[in-house]
Amino acid sequence: MQYLHAALVLHSSGKGVSEKGITAIIKAAGDKPDEAKIKALVSTLESLDIDEAIKGASFMTAASPGTTGAADTGKETVASTTEPEEEEEEAGDDLGLSSLFG
């Protein structure tokens, strides 16, 4: 994910997305860059219009609660098996963000 973020920083600053630029950002962040991942990302982004991809992206799904990653999935499974009543109550609760947008 950090490689993609580095590419977006380069793009939003008006600089070309390049292996050298991404490597510099990763090093500046204090991490060791993986050259293979950088090459793969740059070659993928060469054939992509980044501005169009951003416009077409669905940002609401990224902000949804409960989609924080694989590590939390196991915790949710344990919680749901020990407390099924709370999950049923939450499912009936219509006070979430989606109710604001009809």
Residue in 55, 26, 57 with CA at minimum distance from that of residue 41: 26
pLDDT for residue 98: 56
Q: Which of 34, 15, 13 is nearest to 23 (CA)?
A: 34
- Residue 48: pLDDT band with limits 50, 70, 90: confident
User: Could you give the angle at the alpha carbon of 97 between the alpha carbons of 95 and 98, nearest 5°?
Assistant: 90
Q: pLDDT digit string (tens) for 21-42?
A: 999 999 999 999 999 999 999 9
The more confidently predicted of residues 101 and 21 is 21
For residues 72 and 56, the answer to whether their CB atoms sit within 8 Å is no
Burial track 60-70 (b if 16+ CB lie within 10 A, e otherwise): eeeeeeeeeee
Q: Are 75 and 40 in contact (CB under 8 A)?
A: no
| Higher per-residue confidence, 30 vs 73 | 30
- What phi and psi, each to the nearest 5 degrees, are found at residue 93? -80, 115
d(Cα 44, Cα 37) in Å, to the nearest integer?
Answer: 11
Residue 19 confidence (pLDDT) above 70: yes
The predicted structure's pLDDT at residue 101: 55
Instruction: Set out the domains of the chain in order of their start, with CATH numbers.
Output: 1-87 (1.10.10.1410)
